[in-house]
């Protein structure tokens, strides 16, 4: 029995979700190991590692992530945060959403 199958039986979930959870657990362990090796990566490096972990899960579930953090929903503009799990908005136009994204990157993520 594979770890995916064992996890699926243990949690009473379907195997693709168990496979995604296993990949997520593996990716988290890799991030933790990188964190320990580098002592404390920059906020940008950690955000990239977190993004790659989320991307691995999304792809394991058969989906893809958008390439642009700015998106339109119900006629208003929004932006995704660094985890691509939360969107911030609404903004009246793309320019305002992009400006807010830049402020978010500077103030929350500490990026120039």
pLDDT above 60: residue 10: no
Pairwise pLDDT comparison (17 vs 4), residue with the higher score? 17
What is the percent of the chain with per-residue pLDDT over 70, rounded to a whole number?
Answer: 65
Q: According to the model, what pLDDT value does residue 38 have?
A: 62
Q: How confident is the model at residue 88 (pLDDT cuts 50, 70, 90)?
A: very high
- What average pLDDT does the segment 1-19 reach? 60
CA-based radius of gyration for the chain: 17
pLDDT above 90: residue 27: no
- What average pLDDT does the segment 56-75 reach? 76
Q: According to the model, what pLDDT value does residue 21 have?
A: 67
Asked if the peptide bond before residue 90 counts as cis, ω within 30 degrees of 0, the response is yes
pTM value is 0.44
pLDDT above 80: residue 76: yes
The Cβ-side half-sphere exposure at 64, using a 13 Å CA radius, reads 3
Angle ∠(62,55,60) on CA atoms, nearest 5: 30
Secondary structure E strands in the chain? 70-73, 76-80, 87-91
């Amino acid at each position: 029995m594979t770890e995916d199958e064992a996890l699926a039986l243990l949690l009473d979930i379907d195997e693709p979700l168990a496979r995604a959870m296993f990949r997520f657990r593996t990716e988290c362990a890799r991030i933790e190991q990188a964190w320990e090796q580098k002592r404390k990566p920059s906020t940008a490096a950690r955000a990239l590692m977190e993004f790659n972990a989320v991307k691995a899960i999304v792809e394991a579930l058969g989906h893809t992530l958008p390439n642009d953090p700015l998106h339109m929903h119900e006629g208003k503009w929004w932006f995704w945060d660094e985890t691509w799990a939360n969107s911030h908005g609404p903004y009246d136009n793309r320019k305002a959403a992009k400006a807010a994204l830049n402020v978010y990157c500077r103030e929350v993520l500490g990026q120039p």
